[in-house]
Structures are given as C-alpha cells and as structure tokens.
Amino acid sequence: MTYTFAVTFLLNIPLAFSEYLCCIILTYALIQKKPEGKWAAAMFIPYCLVLIVPTSLFFVRDWMGNAGVQLATVYIETAGWMLVLKTVYRETWGNTVVTGAAVVFLYWVLGGLSGFFLDGNYDLTVPSELAAYMAESGIGTLLVVSIAAWFLRKKRLYEEYTNFLYGESKTGLWKVFFALLPAVRVFAVELVNEKIILNNNNPMVDLFLLLLVYGVLNYVFRCDLQKYAVRRTVPGSWNPS
C-alpha cells in the first residue's frame, strides 16, 4: 500500500474520531462536564482538520520518528482540544491550556500502556496488519481510557481537580507543570528508547509517568482541598490579626 497524503488523511479520520471520544471521556472525568451533542458533533470537523492535516503530512514525509515532530504533534493535539474546550465547554483560555494538556497527556499515556499487549511492530503496508493497528489504536485505546476514567471518577479526583482549576488558591506554577506534561512524556519516552526499544514505545515509561503524576498531584490536590475546606469553615484561622 502506498501512503499518499490523501490516503493517510482518510485513514486518520477514524483514529481522530476515537481520540475525540477519548478526550470527551477524560474531560468528563476531570471536570464533570458533558458537551452539548450538536456542538460536540459540529466541532469534530475543525478538530479533525487541526489534527489530521499536519500529522498526515508528517507521516508522508517520514518525520514521525523525530522527537521534535512528536513534540509538535502532541501540542497540535493539545491546541485542537483547547479549541473544543473553549467553544463547546466554554472554558477560559487559561483553563483550556491546563485541561487540554492534561487530557492529551492522559490520552497518550493510557494509549502507550497498550504496548504491554503487543508482540511486535505492525507493518502498515500490509492491509491485515493495518486493520489490526487501527483496531488496537482506536478501539483498544478507547477501552483503556474508559476504564481509567471510571477509576478517576470512583476516586473523585474531579473534586480535587476542579478546586485546583477554579479555586482561589494560587496555583500558577502547577498550571505550568500541567501545560508541560505532554512534553515530559515525549522526552521521557525518547530518552528511554535510546536504550530500550519495545514496539516503538516503552509502556513501562507510560506506567511510571502515570503513577508518578497521579501520586504527586493527588497529594497536592488533597492538601489544597483540605486548606480550602478549613478556610471556609474557620475563616479567622487564615487571618489571625
């Protein structure tokens, strides 16, 4: 199979649709907001174009193995989801940056965990292997994301995250940290792959990053939420004078 720009563009549409659904699920897990149906459907077209046009070009030019291109790709995806957050969810630009980066980071990390179940690389010039790759990338990632979102809701992480996002505490540095998460994931995988290559990915890196970020931020969020609760209950304790 020859991958022209047109062929690559068309093949990327179902993958972009799967990613779009994953981002909706992850956004709900973080901020407990659902998009309005007609707006969500309408915004898929510009979202799809933002993602597919540059990434199809990168693939046809055989640039996807370059770390700089991978970095550009994740932030193109972040920009695409920021557009949806601003238009459909009516978030502020500041919050779209934070949540957009968090959602894309989670999408890639959770998708990377599928590497535990792969036996070898896919040859995308073989139709049967291309079909298997698209099924694994689309349906498989959607399944993993759904399970992870269920876990996050069960742990009520949205309470901590929304307090972090909309609360009164000064969290500027942590918001910058969120914005850098996609880049951290790209560089971590690239660094490890210099030594160990597993199906063009290393799921152990994604698992480590997921647990590390979840542990650190869960601690920070809980501490901040507790301070906020104390402040609301005993205002005078924050102003002893």
Query: Which tens digits make up the pLDDT trace of 16-37?
Result: 999 999 999 999 999 999 888 7
Domain for residue 239, yes or no? no
| pLDDT for position 54 | 95
Domain for residue 203, yes or no? yes
Could you tell me what percent of the chain has a pLDDT over 70? 82
| pLDDT for position 223 | 66
**What's the pLDDT band for 139 if we cut at 50, 70, 90?**
confident
Domain for residue 223, yes or no? yes
Host domain of residue 169: 5-234
Domain for residue 44, yes or no? yes
Q: Collapsing DSSP states into helix, strand and coil, what is residue 23?
A: helix
Domain for residue 67, yes or no? yes
Q: Mean pLDDT for the chain?
A: 83
Contact 11, 134 (CB under 8 A): yes
Domain for residue 240, yes or no? no
Closest CA to 222 of 151, 157, 165: 157
Q: Return the higher-pLDDT residue of 47 and 191.
A: 47
Query: Which tens digits make up the pLDDT trace of 142-200?
Result: 998 999 999 989 988 888 888 888 876 666 788 888 899 999 999 888 887 765 544 44
| pLDDT for position 240 | 40
pLDDT surpassing 50 at residue 1: yes
pLDDT surpassing 60 at residue 85: yes
| pLDDT for position 60 | 92
Query: Which tens digits make up the pLDDT trace of 222-239?
Result: 666 566 555 555 454 434
CA distance 205 to 193: 10
**What's the pLDDT band for 129 if we cut at 50, 70, 90?**
confident
End-to-end, the C-alpha distance of the chain in Å comes to 75
**How is residue 101 written in tokens?**
């980066």
| pLDDT for position 238 | 39
Domain for residue 241, yes or no? no
| pLDDT for position 45 | 94
Q: Please give the average per-residue pLDDT across 100-112, as a whole number.
A: 92
| pLDDT for position 117 | 60
Could you tell me what percent of the chain has a pLDDT over 90? 44
Total residue length of the chain: 241
Q: Is residue 194 exposed (0-12), middle (13-18) or buried (19+ Cβ within 10 Å)?
A: exposed
CA distance 175 to 186: 19
**What's the pLDDT band for 96 if we cut at 50, 70, 90?**
very high
| pLDDT for position 241 | 35
pTM assigned to the model: 0.85
Total tally of structural domains belonging to the chain:
1
Q: What are phi and psi of 198, to 5 degrees?
A: -130, 100
| pLDDT for position 130 | 80
Domain for residue 218, yes or no? yes
